Amino acid sequence: MKEGIAPAKEDGRDFSAREGSLARYSRLMARMVPDAISTTVLMLVMLFIIALALGNSLTATVDAWYRGLWMLLPFTMQMALVLVLGSVLAATALFRKIIISISRKPRTAAQVIIYSTIVVAVVSYLNWGFALALGPLIAIHFADEAERKGIALDFPFLMAANGAAGSVWQFGLSASAPLLMATPGHFLEADAGTMSLRSSIWSPAAIFLVVGFPAVVIIAAILLMPRNPKPLSEFPAARKLAEPFEGHEGQGAAEAGFSGRMERSSLMPLTLSAALLVWLYYHFRVKQASLDLNSLNTIFLLLCLLLHGNIRNFSRSVQRAVTSCWPILVLYHLYAGIAGLIQFTTVGAAFSSLSAPALNAWSFPLLTALAGTVVAVFVPSSGGQWVIQGFVTLKAAEAVGVTAQRGMLALGVGDQMGNLISPFWFVVRAEIAHMDFRTFFGYGLIFALLWFVFGVAAFTFLPC
């Protein structure tokens, strides 16, 4: 029997019926889910009505929306650079060789899922921005190699599975709230002190989730992979990304003369890299500052310059990568306006108080994760969400007698759940892969449910 082709019945189970159900479900979600901007408008109207119903005046509600609308301008640029520079770094020959080398190892569809899921999870644990940029490319290269070998594999489903595996960043080395709470002088220090990473992202519950959830994704993906898959070749724009990036050298008159030699010279990137190294030394050694978005982007820029080798290669890669960051440039501000309605009216406090009567030590992780999910749908920033919900979460944890760490980590489960069900991050990943996000959005919701159940169970029953 050829790899990936299953019989209609096996062990008494009708796989053709399951295949049909998955396909119908995917098509239904593609038809029902509006685009990200339309979704934002619906959120805005709903919250505006809620704010007025809670007694906020029309003037105060409009002012809250406008205050929020542009409050993420610096953060938006930082996040755009994380994504663009991550994409540029992922396009370097070194990382392409690493991904292609690993993608050639699998010999079955199950092995493709196992290898790609583990790679995405490891990269995500190290840094979420790099994983966001690299994850779709990992799926593309693995799907390309699978198709070359005649392995039946559904590319949209692999995109969904790999995206879910990236959820471990919530408790990885770039986790927003845990890193903030471990930094002296943070905004909640008077209430919770500083939290060591050993007590948060390196707690038994968090480690169990980081190790265990990718295994859950692998098992679910192997069991649910559509039996009539859509290979990468059905997505020609995405397939093109698996091809070597050509056009670095010998392209027209712009390379002639002094200007052309400067573009091809390694002197320019080396000079700028030296300056960036001096800044990093000053930031980490002289100021004794910690890793933040600015220093992260500086490291990314440094690596991009060094690995691309000259300004021409670097510039052309940036031009390709910039097209994938438009959702951040536009949608972040629309989401910021929604965040303003939550933060600067009584809507946020009302949401937080809904679960108070049902809170106890056992229900606390579940209800905290649910609250985090609701807010995360409107606020596409883990750090921003912690600013909005952190104080209420810590007080609720104290009231029911659980650790503040349990509250923060449970909120992280909800935050990622919001990311996994909101079209926003699907659009970002789809833009990187040059495809319609609705082709894998429905599959992503299946893994979102698994994440929520697994995460709530971990922070309910395991030590943290």
Which is more confident, 305 or 387?
Answer: 305
State both tokens at 151: 């392995």
Across residues 300-312, what is the average pLDDT? 92
What are 333-371's pLDDT values in tens digits? Answer: 887 888 788 878 988 778 767 766 778 899 999 999 998
**Residue 233 DSSP code:** G
13-14 and 9-10 as β-strands: parallel, antiparallel, unpaired? antiparallel
The pLDDT, as a whole number, for residue 440 is: 93
Distance between CA 426 and CA 405 in Å, rounded?
A: 29
- Min mean pLDDT across 47-51, 235-239, 253-257 is at 253-257
Instruction: For 144-192, give the DSSP string.
Output: HHHHHTT----HHHHHHHHHHHGGGGGGSTT-HHHHHHTSTT-TTHHHH
The pLDDT, as a whole number, for residue 247 is: 46
Across residues 66-72, what is the average pLDDT? 85
Give the CA distances from residue 46 to residues 35, 39, 42, 49, 53, in Å, rounded to whole numbers and listed in that order.
17, 11, 6, 5, 11
- In this model, does residue 290 exceed pLDDT 60? yes
The pLDDT, as a whole number, for residue 5 is: 38
> 66: which residues sit within 8 A by CB, 6+ positions away?
337, 340
What are 86-107's pLDDT values in tens digits? Answer: 888 877 888 888 999 999 999 9
What are 10-68's pLDDT values in tens digits? Answer: 333 343 444 456 666 666 666 766 676 787 888 889 999 999 999 999 999 999 999 88
Across residues 257-279, what is the average pLDDT? 88
Across residues 133-146, what is the average pLDDT? 93
pLDDT tier, 263 (very low <50, low <70, confident <90, very high otherwise): confident
- In this model, does residue 201 exceed pLDDT 50? yes
Give the CA distances from residue 72 to residues 1, 17, 280, 330, 337, in Å, rounded to whole numbers and listed in that order.
55, 47, 25, 11, 9
- In this model, does residue 270 exceed pLDDT 70? yes
- In this model, does residue 283 exceed pLDDT 50? yes
The pLDDT, as a whole number, for residue 246 is: 55
The pLDDT, as a whole number, for residue 11 is: 38
Across residues 389-417, what is the average pLDDT? 90
> 262: which residues sit within 8 A by CB, 6+ positions away?
268, 311
Q: Is the dihedral of CA 27, 32, 38, 43 positive or negative?
A: negative
* Residues paired with residue 13 on neighbouring β-strands, in sequence order: 10
Question: Maximum Cα–Cα distance for the chain, whole Å?
Answer: 74
What are 404-420's pLDDT values in tens digits? Answer: 999 999 999 999 999 99
